[in-house]
Amino acid sequence: MSDFIPPYPIRHPKTLGGLDTIKHLRRDLLSFWTENAFTRKFITMKLLNRTLIIANLPEAVNYILIQHYDNYQKKSSLMQKSLMPLIPDSLLISHGDLWQKHSHLIRPFFGPEQLTTFSAVMQQTLHEQQERWGKLPTTNTLPMLPEMRALSATMLCRILFGSQISDADCQALTKSVAAYLHSIEDLDVNTFFGLPTWVPSLGGNKSGKAAKAVHECIDKIIATYSPANTNSLLGLFLSLPDLSPAQIRHELLAFFLAGYDTTATTLTWVWYLLAQCPDVEQRLHQEIDSVLNDTEALADLPTQLPYTRAIIDETLRLYPPFPMLSREAAAPDTFHDKPIPAGATILIVPWLLHRHKAYWEKPDHFIPERFLADAPVKPTPFTYLPFGFGARECVAKQFSTLQLTLSVALLAQHFRPQTKPGLKVTPICKVTLSPDNDVPMTIVKR
C-alpha cells in the first residue's frame, strides 16, 4: 500500500479577509481554503455583500442533489455566465423543461451498445499513441499534459464527428475551445460571489468573441462531416428531429468541453502518481498483463480491471476535475436548521469532501486500495462525487470511465512514464483542476 502524499496547495491557518480572498480566487480556486475547512461540516462565508453556504457533509449532497433536486437544479450564475455564450441551450447548463427534453433525447446515446462502438474508436486511437511512443528515442522527454490533451482531443473528435475527421480540423477545434476557456478564466469571480460593481472585472467581452470563433470552427466541421458517419455522435444527433442545428452544435460542444480537458488532466495525474509509487505501478502491470490482450472486445474492460479502476478512482478523489459544484435555490428552504433564502448559492465542494478528515482515513494519501471491493473501510456514501450525483450526474460517466480505463491499461501495457527527480507539480483551478505545469516525463518502454 502506498504511503505517498501527493502535492496540494497551501492551506491557511485562518480565514482570509474579503480582499485577500478575492485575490486568491482570481489566481486559483483551490488556494484560499483554510485547514479547518477539511474538518467542518457546514460553512457560512461572508464575502463583501454575499453570503455563501458551503454544504460540506454527505447528508447535504443527498438533500440538494437527490432528495430536493427540483429546488436546486439550476446551475449557479457563475456557470451560466461563463458558458452561456458558447452552449446556451445545452444539457450542461440548461434546467427545467429544456433540460428534461435534452436529457431524455441524449442519454440513450451513452448506453452499452453505443459504448461498444465508441470503444473501438478509443482502441484505435490508443494503438496509434502506442506506435508514436514506441518510436521515441531512449532519452526522450515529453510534456505529459499537452500529450494527454492531444490524445483526448483526437479521441473525442473521432467519436463526435467520425474517424475520418482530419488532424487539422481536430486541432482547430481544440485550439478554439482552449482560447474560449482562457477567455473565461477571469470572468467568474465577480459574478459568482456577487461582488459590487466597483470591483474590477478582468473578463471584458473576450468570451463573446471567443465563442463566435468556436461556433464558426465547429459549424465548418459539421458541414464537412455530417453526411459521412452515422455511428458518430453527430450522426446520432442528426437523427433526432427535435434538435435544431444550433442545439446539435451546442450539445456537441458541451460534450467536448466537459470531456476534453478533464480526461487529459486526470490521465496526467495518473501517470505522475504512478511514477512516484512503484509498488502501485507494479501491481497495475500485474493486473493488466494477466487480463489484457489486443484482440478482445474492450467495452467491459473496466469491470475486469478492478485495481486499474481503483487507481483512477483515487486519482479523481485527490484531483477532481470540477472541484466546486454550485446550485441556486429556487425557493426558500431550511437544512439542519440553517435558513436558505431563494436565490442563495449553495456550494458542494468535492475538493473538501474528497479530503475531509471525518470521512477518509489518511485523506491526503494516495491509496488506491480504498476503492477495492475487499477494502476494510468503504467510502462514506455521498462523499465521492467526481461526476456529480442524482438527476444531473454526468450523462457521460460510463463513457468517461471507459475512456480513462482503456487509456491507462493500453498505454501502461507497454510503457512506464517516469518523472525526473525533484519535479514539483501543484494542482490549480481556474475553470477545471489541472497541474500547474506541463509535467515533463520520460517514456520508458516495458
| Amino acid 296: pLDDT | 62
| DSSP, res 182 | H
Pairing assessment for the beta strands 50-55 and 345-348 based on DSSP bridges:
parallel
Cell numbers placing 361:
482515513
- Give CA–CA dist 82/182, Å, rounded: 11
Average confidence (pLDDT) per 10 residues, the chain, 446 residues? 88 73 73 89 72 86 93 75 87 86 89 91 96 95 97 97 94 95 69 50 68 96 79 89 92 94 97 98 96 71 94 99 89 88 87 96 97 94 94 92 97 96 92 94 97
| Class level of CATH domain 18-445 | mainly alpha
Residues near 107 by Cβ (< 8 Å), separated by ≥ 6?
395
Q: Where are the domains of the chain?
A: 18-445
Give per-residue pLDDT as tens, 401-413.
999 999 999 999 9
| Amino acid 198: pLDDT | 45
| Amino acid 199: pLDDT | 47
Q: Is residue 53 packed enough to be buried (19+ CB in 10 Å), middle (13-18) or exposed (0-12)?
A: buried
| Amino acid 50: pLDDT | 65
User: In a 3-state reduction of DSSP, which class is residue 92?
Assistant: coil
| Amino acid 197: pLDDT | 47
Contact between residue 24 and residue 39 where contact means Cβ atoms under 8 Å apart = no
pTM for the complete prediction? 0.94
| Amino acid 115: pLDDT | 92
Asked whether residue 217 is marked as a ligand-binding residue, the answer is: no
Amino acid at 156: L
Backbone angles phi, psi at 416, to 5 degrees: -125, 90
